Amino acid sequence: MSKNLFITGTGTDIGKTYVTGLMIKKLQESGLKAAYYKAAMSGNDRREDGSLVPGDAVRVKNMSGISQPPEEMCPYVYENAYSPHLASRLEGNPVQPEVVKAGFEKVAAEYDYVTMEGSGGILCPICFDEQKIMLEDVITMLDLSCLLIADAGLGTINQVVLTWFYMKSRNIPVKGIIFNHFHRGNIMEEDNLRMCEYMTGLKVLACVADGDTQLNMELSELTALYE
């Protein structure tokens, strides 16, 4: 059975997929059998035959070099770039927890390390009409600890602290923070790191700059995050 970790963020488009790809790449290049999983993926293009390309899965696969087929990385793929609850309302095929769990357990049985990425931020609704399923319900169902990805720029103190405070109130364990879009030497961004550590008690584990192709983090520190 694999060791697992859930990746959430302070919101959408802050680079969760990019950072996740770097994490999986480091595991893969170290000889570990690593895999990716996501419950629901929105904003995907269609192939000529009308089928949907699981874009985040393909990006992670291309970044990391893993051999895992994209088809087993995500059970729910939607075209509209909306929250999964709204995308499925328009397109059909709403998320069912048992399907998500079965897909995750299949991947977990075949790989050593599974990195599961969330949709949007921690309060993202996964399904709403047929069942009320929030992202935190998926995390709890699979009994996962989390890593928080945040943008390094202006406004991140408020976003990080509010996200952490909510997760703490829901008893969701958070292992630490990785900041994306980081500019070393930028006085504001470096202060953001210090303030977020001070206000949450979480450790900043790594910082990722635009264009980075490697995660600046020791392998032992990375693997220690997985349970």
Residue 19, Ramachandran bin (φ over 0: left; ψ between -120 and 50: alpha; else beta)? alpha
**At 159, which helix (H) or strand (E)?**
helix 156-169
174, 7 contact by CB (below 8 A):
no
Q: Report how far residue 75's alpha carbon sits from residue 37's, in angstroms, rounded to the nearest whole number.
A: 9
Does the active-site annotation cover 3? Answer: no
Residue 99, both tokens = 């399907």
What's phi and psi for 19, nearest 5 deg?
Answer: -65, -40
Distance of CA 214 to the CA centre of its chain: 17
Of the candidates 16, 38, 61, 175, the residue annotated as catalytic is: 38
Question: CB within 8 A of 54, min separation 6: which ones?
Answer: 41, 44, 70, 71, 73, 74, 77
Active site residues: 38
